Amino acid sequence: MDRPERAMVVTPHPDDAEIGCGGTIGAWIKAGTEVVYVLCTNGDKGSGDLEMTSDRLAEIREREQAEAADILGVKEVIYLRYPDGMLEDTSEFRGQLVHAIRKHQPEVVMTPDPFRRGFYLHRDHRVCGQVTIDAVFPFARDHLHYPEHIEEEGLETYKVADILLWGTEEADTYLDITDTIEAKIESLRKHASQVSSDGSSGDVGDFIKANAKRMGEKADLIYAEAFRRINIRG
């Protein structure tokens, strides 16, 4: 697919964007694409440290996300700060995504695939993916949904061209990340509270490269990221 001029990543937790599409957004940004993140939760539950508190972890993970986004060159991170594990399919959450889409007008929106059968999927990923799809179409398109965006802020309706779903079992789009695999790994290492630094879980770089190589083999590429593409504009 063609590189978009503007893209948006709607990600459930800090670190999910880098894992799911960090190589692609790094490549796009290098080529001139403006990328905005919408980070839905504050990641305040993901710790095995019995001395850790939710408030402290949320602060750590927001800082980590900002540093990871800087590595890739992300223009802006929008922090919704829902508690980890508490995403719900609500009008408020959907409206926040619609607002971001109408404001930033991305040609492509990237988010987790909510429809998976072969592997357990965190509920925040399911909710994030489904609500993002709904926000893209039809809610961001239709002026009678969230008319306050138009009436109070002058934000016009907007129709996204494509959705790219990462973590999918039905990939149909493979994007080359050979030149940005190291940036993807470096950005992921910024999430130090989640990435093992003692080697107990293996090196994150080895894991990322092995997965990207496996995806690349399906598209005659050295390293790739895989997505399911939903075309909206046609």
Q: Is residue 62 predicted with pLDDT exceeding 80?
A: yes
What pLDDT does residue 200 have? 44
Write the CB contacts of 73 (distance below 8 Å, at least 6 apart in sequence): 26, 29, 30, 35
Q: How distant, in Å, are the alpha carbons of 76, 172, 221, 222 from that of 9?
A: 11, 19, 24, 24
**What's the token pair of residue 124?**
């925040």
What is the Cα 139 distance to its own chain's centre?
A: 19
Q: H or E element: which one contains 80?
A: strand 76-82
Q: Are 205 and 223 in contact (CB under 8 A)?
A: no
Q: Are 194 and 44 in contact (CB under 8 A)?
A: no
What is the Cα 150 distance to its own chain's centre?
A: 26
Residue 104, classed as helix, strand or coil, is helix
Backbone angles phi, psi at 188, to 5 degrees: -65, -35
Considering only CA atoms, give the Rg of the chain: 17
User: Which segments of 157-203 does DSSP mark as H helices, in order?
Assistant: 181-189
Question: What average pLDDT does range 60-68 have in this prediction?
Answer: 97
The percentage of the chain sitting over the pLDDT mark of 70, rounded to a whole number, equals 96
Residue 154, classed as helix, strand or coil, is coil
Angle between helices 54-72 and 181-189 (to 10 degrees): 160
Q: Quick count: other Cβ atoms within 10 Å of Cβ 229?
A: 14
What pLDDT does residue 25 have? 98
What is the Cα 13 distance to its own chain's centre?
A: 8
- How far apart are the C-alpha atoms of 187 and 3, rounded to whole Å? 21
Of the candidates 231, 115, 208, 128, which has an alpha carbon nearest to the alpha carbon of residue 169?
Answer: 115
Which pLDDT band, with edges at 50, 70 and 90, does 196 fall under?
A: low
Q: Is residue 150 predicted with pLDDT exceeding 50?
A: yes
> Considering all CA atoms of the chain, what is the largest pairwise distance in Å, rounded to the nearest integer?
54
Question: What average pLDDT does range 181-201 have in this prediction?
Answer: 81
Residue 150, classed as helix, strand or coil, is helix
What pLDDT does residue 202 have? 61
